[in-house]
């Protein structure tokens, strides 16, 4: 974030690429609501599902999603869904994720506010775009993740665990927390405090992570990103104690790295000009970066310090990220830290 600039002195030295994360077939983040089951009077008694047909009731791979008998007065599969099972609907593009693929997929559904996540099955197309929501979840799934209507949800389908459609109820997963060794789990977000300073990515694919030093305290950073006249922001702010705040959705462009915002995720780290990362902060950052790399299929070599980001175009450069990742102001310092910690 800093306003100070410094002449660029070092060249980027990328570290060798390591293991490749699972391919992401589908990802969405946004508001949710609930649907399906005997008590969903927003669905007509005869309303069906986009991904399933009455014949599927007899298929052991799918029967588990439904109640054994239709609720009185209903004939459609929508009201016959078992509301305790973990299922959901999104507005699918069947050219990208075919109906057949969706019928046998398990998605990871996450509540970014509290770190709860569960695996769930796609069953329908929706909600209508007019609702400004991106997904409808089963009442049981929403309750398990402690989600209420219009809360934010994040849904991902990866190439694996595209499992054979199982009949077991998906397990609820409480995240291990900061430093989790599982690269596919997002570390808990302490609070989502929306910054107004974001815009559309215009289809830009997320392909890099940019690391910053706030050069100011947590409260002043959060305030700056909400009301500052410079209109700057970042997706994440990590406090010295490891608490992670999210301020811009990943799907949106934040204003953190002039010239390189369209394809990047920005992470601010609370610290002064001469500070190194605090231990808990380093752990949280590594955990978040690990998750981002897996989530968006970003190569490990595409984690940059602010000043060394390809496309960064502010005249004169910046001293950011200062000494957080090592004493020398160089991308080699960042790359070495990523190699050792992420």
Contacting residues toward Zn ion, per CB under 5 A: 1, 212, 306, 320
Cα of 173 vs its chain's centroid, Å: 16
Q: How far is the CB of 245 from Zn ion (least distance, A)?
A: 16
Which of residues 147 and 324 has its CB atom nearest to Zn ion in the complex? Answer: 324
Q: Are 202 and 260 in contact (CB under 8 A)?
A: no
339 burial (CB, 10 Å; 0-12 / 13-18 / 19+) is middle
Q: How far is the CB of 307 from Zn ion (least distance, A)?
A: 8
What is d(CA 59, CA 136) in angstroms, rounded to the nearest whole number? 24
Which of residues 119 and 322 has its CB atom nearest to Zn ion in the complex? Answer: 322
3-class secondary-structure state, position 152: strand
Which of residues 260 and 320 has its CB atom nearest to Zn ion in the complex? Answer: 320
Which of residues 190 and 212 has its CB atom nearest to Zn ion in the complex? Answer: 212
Percent of residues in the chain assigned helix, strand, coil, to nearest 5:
20, 20, 60
Q: Are 160 and 119 in contact (CB under 8 A)?
A: no
Q: How far is the CB of 202 from Zn ion (least distance, A)?
A: 23
Q: Give the number of other CB atoms < 10 A from CB of residue 279.
A: 11
Which of residues 301 and 319 has its CB atom nearest to Zn ion in the complex? Answer: 319
Which of residues 120 and 257 has its CB atom nearest to Zn ion in the complex? Answer: 257
Q: How far is the CB of 254 from Zn ion (least distance, A)?
A: 11
Please give the structure tokens belonging to residue 78: 């929508």
Give the CA-trace dihedral at 47, 50, 54, 57, to 10 degrees: -120
Q: Are 210 and 264 in contact (CB under 8 A)?
A: yes
What is d(CA 36, CA 142) in angstroms, rounded to the nearest whole number? 12
Which of residues 18 and 314 has its CB atom nearest to Zn ion in the complex? Answer: 314
Q: How far is the CB of 102 from Zn ion (least distance, A)?
A: 40
Q: What is the DSSP letter of 286?
A: H
Q: What angle do CA 309, 315, 318 make, to 5 degrees?
A: 55
Q: How far is the CB of 320 from Zn ion (least distance, A)?
A: 3
Q: How far is the CB of 211 from Zn ion (least distance, A)?
A: 8
Q: What is the DSSP letter of 30?
A: E
């Amino acid at each position: 974030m800093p306003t100070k600039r410094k002449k660029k002195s070092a060249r980027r030295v990328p570290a060798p690429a390591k293991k490749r994360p699972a391919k992401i077939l589908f990802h969405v983040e946004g508001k949710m609501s609930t649907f399906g089951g005997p008590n969903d009077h927003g669905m007509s008694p005869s309303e069906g599902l986009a991904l399933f047909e009455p014949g599927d009731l007899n298929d052991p791979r799918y029967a588990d999603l439904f109640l054994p008998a239709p609720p009185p007065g209903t004939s459609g599969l929508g009201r016959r869904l078992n509301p305790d099972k973990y299922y959901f609907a999104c507005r699918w593009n069947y050219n990208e994720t075919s109906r057949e693929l969706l019928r046998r997929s398990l998605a990871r559904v996450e509540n970014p506010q509290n770190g709860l996540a569960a695996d769930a099955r796609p069953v329908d197309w929706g909600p209508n775009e007019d609702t400004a929501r991106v997904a409808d979840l089963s009442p049981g799934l929403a309750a398990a993740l402690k989600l209420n209507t219009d809360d934010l949800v994040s849904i991902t389908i990866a190439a694996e665990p595209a499992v054979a459609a199982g009949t077991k109820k998906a397990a609820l997963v409480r995240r291990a927390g900061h430093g989790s060794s599982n690269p596919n789990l997002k570390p808990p977000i302490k609070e989502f405090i929306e910054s107004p300073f974001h815009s559309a990515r215009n289809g830009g694919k997320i392909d890099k992570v940019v690391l910053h030093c706030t050069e100011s305290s947590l409260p002043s950073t959060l305030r700056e990103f909400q009301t500052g006249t410079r209109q700057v922001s970042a997706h994440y702010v990590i406090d010295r104690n490891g608490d992670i705040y999210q301020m811009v959705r990943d799907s949106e462009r934040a204003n953190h790295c002039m010239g390189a915002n369209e394809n990047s995720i920005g992470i601010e780290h609370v610290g002064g000009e001469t500070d190194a990362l605090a231990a808990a902060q380093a752990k949280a950052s590594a955990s978040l970066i690990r998750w981002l790399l897996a989530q968006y299929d970003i190569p490990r070599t595409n984690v940059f310090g602010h000043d060394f980001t390809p496309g960064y175009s502010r005249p004169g450069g910046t001293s950011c990220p200062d000494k957080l990742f090592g004493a020398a102001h160089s991308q080699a310092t960042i790359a070495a830290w990523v190699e050792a910690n992420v």
